[in-house]
Amino acid sequence: MAPVADQLSNVLSDIRKAEAEYGRPEGAVTLIAVSKTFEADAIRPALEAGHRVFGENRVQEAMGKWPELRGSYDGIELHLIGPLQSNKAKEAVATFDVIHTVDRQKIAKALKAEMDKQGRDLPCFIQVNTGEEPQKAGIPPKEVDQFVKECKDTVGLNIVGLMCIPPVDEAPGEHFALLQKIAARNGLSQISMGMSSDYETAVGFGATHVRVGSAIFGSRDYA
């Protein structure tokens, strides 16, 4: 595996090429560098290279490394891309800048209450279970319109877009297309989709945020 800075630069140039290829404006897509399981020292090269947008999937893990990194680098934007329990809403709101995984009313309400308490107003994405997989988090496609309304009008969350993780064993394109369609009919401008194996495809289907981990930091060791 090449050094992290080289991998990062390769992914960024792939994204710019995909933007051009698919007729997207240059810079339309934000790269979220997914640093889960990697320690602060492994993340620093990406920060040194000037990257500032990162994703983590666990609140506890993020709390352990990002306060220190924020102390050393200005302008960090941290995205929560993993499942959230309502008893972690306080820490999530304090630690992250954007939440991608709002998937039930209880979480929406807990986040809103914490944001009010902490005087923050974080942009939020709703996670959509495009493949309707029973084991996977997310709102089923046909319930999204209603849930978006509830989150915005009843709960008062700042919903900016939709997020999905397609089934591993299916071509991602149809899931990306579905998410793009649901976002459009709900007037949501931001779309979080595409990972190491399919971020260029996601750019073609209108992603505004791609979440790329292993292609930048290497394969993960969960041991």
Which residue from 88, 152, 209, 211 is in contact with ligand PLP, where contact means CB under 6 A? 211
Q: Is 84 helix (H, G, I), strand (E, B) or coil?
A: coil
Q: Which residue is nearest to ligand PLP (CB)?
A: 213
Rounded CA gap, 103 and 54, in Å?
21
The distance of closest approach from Cβ of residue 34 to ligand PLP in the complex, given in angstroms and rounded to an integer, is 4
Contact yes or no for 124/151 (Cβ under 8 A): yes
Residue with smaller CB distance to ligand PLP, 131 or 213:
213
Which residue from 11, 18, 34, 102 is in contact with ligand PLP, where contact means CB under 6 A? 34
Which residue from 36, 58, 90, 136 is in contact with ligand PLP, where contact means CB under 6 A? 36
Which residue from 195, 202, 203, 207 is in contact with ligand PLP, where contact means CB under 6 A? 195
Contact yes or no for 7/219 (Cβ under 8 A): no
Q: Which residue has the tokens 């996670």?
A: 127
Residue with smaller CB distance to ligand PLP, 34 or 47:
34
Q: State the distance between the two ends of the chain, measured CA to CA, in whole angstroms.
A: 20
Contact yes or no for 22/204 (Cβ under 8 A): yes
Rg (Cα) of the chain, in Å, rounded?
17
Stretch that binds ligand PLP, among 113-121, 133-141, 143-151, 209-217 (CB under 6 A): 209-217
Q: Which helix (H) or strand (E) holds 34?
A: strand 30-34
Q: Does residue 214 belong to the site contacting ligand PLP (CB under 6 A)?
A: yes
Q: Does residue 136 belong to the site contacting ligand PLP (CB under 6 A)?
A: no
Q: Does residue 58 belong to the site contacting ligand PLP (CB under 6 A)?
A: no
Which residue from 162, 165, 182, 183 is in contact with ligand PLP, where contact means CB under 6 A? 165
Q: Does residue 9 belong to the site contacting ligand PLP (CB under 6 A)?
A: no
Quick one: 36 exposed, middle or buried, by C-beta within 10 A (0-12, 13-18, 19+)?
middle
**Among candidate residues 184, 96, 87, the one with its CA nearest the CA of residue 144:** 184
Which positions lie near ligand PLP, rule CB under 6 A? 34, 36, 57, 81-82, 165, 195-196, 211-215
